A and B are shown apart, each in its own frame.
Chain A
């Protein structure tokens, strides 16, 4: 039996993870101002040389099919779109924070990032249909919802493999296995990291409550946690699975109903609108890697 990690040992691992770059916060503040121009955003991005080269690499990739080379960051921003640039900055920052995490039997970091990218798109599309959720916040929550798994894998890979195996064998979700064996879930670890990265309380709570029952989110006025739960499920069902051959996490009936997904037409529309964006987002991510 592999040694069980404790919340204290995982907190030490979290302290060793780099903070997110300051450019991300500045970019978010600028994007909140509707008067911000692409030139102003370009000035912010140009402060970070690695980021600038990623924007240019993406916009000059065969995906965009431009016959002449794009050299200007502001032109690149016009092509990608403001939100795509912000999401690019966030994605690359999170990817960089875990760049040295090795994959292994039972866990592939690449699969987890593809799953996160797909979840973020599905969450954003669903949030766009609601007044009680911010689509951009939903996107970020989707991108970060599984960071606790990366921390757990980094700290205790043998235990992680065992938990995946038990999940597959007993047809119980990975989170429930952790709850049974450790007394906490990967979402709790993710919320701790979100706290270190100074993410707002609503986002931290959404990451923490994703897999919990409807009752645990009943006091939360935002529908972010139920959105995240549903988006995570759709991403897995569409083939963007974070952990191989593990069962799907059934949504709580209360959350499903709260989101209106018991209306079959609404559910179909959500799937139809999410699927192309999930594919596009995963293509972007593969290019970045």
Chain B
């Protein structure tokens, strides 16, 4: 979930790469956003950060189940080549993650 940097509490975790205005990597996914790091990122012009947000386990399970059902439907329309089968498996794993 993308959140304005001013609203992020120290200790939050970045969900995707944090880039500057020229798309240079400033912090990788999984980086813990300390107060110092948040100040540095702000000074480099970063305004929004995709952070990990804790989700209700019941909502999470339901979302994962829906996503998996959607993937089964999408891939069932195509002849499953080895490449498509591999992509489906990777997307299923990503949905679980």
CA of A171 to CA of B77, assembled, Å: 7
Q: Does A17 contact B (CB under 8 A)?
A: no
**A272 contact set on B, CB distance < 8 A:** 29, 94, 97
Q: How many residues of B contact A (CB 8 A)?
A: 38
- Measured between C-beta atoms, what is the minimum distance from A268 to chain B in Å? 5
User: Does chain B have a CB within 8 A of A238?
Assistant: yes
Q: Are A273 and B17 in contact (CB under 8 A)?
A: yes
Chain B residues closer than 8 Å to A248, beta-carbon distance: 74-75, 77-78, 84
Complex CA distance for A251 and B19, rounded to whole angstroms: 30
Pair B16/A276 contact, Cβ less than 8 Å: yes
CB atoms of A256 and B83 under 8 A apart: yes
Are B94 and A250 in touch, CB under 8 angstroms? no
Judge whether A276 and B22 touch: CB under 8 Å. no
Among candidates B4, B19, B70, B83, residue contacting A250 with C-beta atoms closer than 8 Å: B83
Stretch from B32-40, B42-50, B56-64 contacting the other chain = B42-50
Tell me if B90 and A250 are in contact (CB < 8 A).
no
Interface residues of A in 200-248 (CB under 8 A from B): 233-234, 236-239, 241, 245-248
Q: Which of B2, B23, B47, B83 has the most CB atoms of chain A within a 10 A radius of its CB?
A: B83
| A162 partner residues in chain B, CB cutoff 8 A | none
**Residue numbers in A under 8 Å from B94 (CB-CB):** 268, 271-272, 275
| Interface membership of B12, Cβ < 8 A | no
* A197: B residues at CB distance < 8 A: none
A82–B87 contact, CB under 8 A? no
Most buried by B among A64, A77, A236, A271: A271
- Assess the A280–B2 pair: CB atoms within 8 A: yes
Size class of the contact patch on chain A: 35 or more
Identify B84's interface contact among A82, A250, A276, CB under 8 A. Answer: A250
Task: Choose one: B4, B16, B23, B83; the contact of A83 (CB below 8 Å).
Answer: B23
Cβ–Cβ contact B77 & A79, under 8 A: no
Q: Tell me what chain B mostly uses at the interface: helix, strand, loop, or mixed.
A: mixed
Nearest-CB residue, chain B, relative to A135? B23
What CA separation (Å) do A251 and B88 show in the bound complex? 13
**Is B15 at the interface (CB under 8 A from chain A)?**
yes
**A-side contacts of B19, CB under 8 Å:** 81
Given contacts A248-B78, A280-B2, contact A237 B50 (CB under 8 A): no
Chain B residues near A256 (CB-CB < 8 A):
83
| Residue A267 lies at the interface, judged by CB distance under 8 Å to chain B | yes
Please provide the chain A residues from 253 to 289 with a CB less than 8 Å away from any CB of chain B in the complex: 253, 256, 261-262, 264, 267-268, 271-273, 275-277, 280
Contact pick for A81, options B16, B45, B70, B78, CB 8 Å: B45
Chain B interface (Cβ within 8 Å of chain A)? Answer: 2-4, 6-7, 15-17, 19-23, 29, 45, 47-48, 50, 70-71, 74-75, 77-79, 81-84, 86-91, 93-94, 97
If A253-B82, A276-B15 are given as contacts, then 18 extra A-B residue pairs at C-beta distance below 8 Å, sorted by A number, are: A63-B48, A64-B4, A65-B7, A65-B48, A66-B4, A78-B45, A81-B22, A83-B21, A135-B23, A247-B77, A247-B78, A248-B78, A251-B84, A253-B83, A261-B86, A264-B90, A271-B91, A272-B94
- A sample of 5 cross-chain residue pairs with beta-carbon separation below 8 angstroms, ordered by A number, consists of A34-B22, A65-B7, A66-B47, A247-B78, A276-B15
6 tightest A-B CB contacts, nearest first: A65-B4, A247-B78, A81-B21, A276-B16, A248-B78, A250-B81
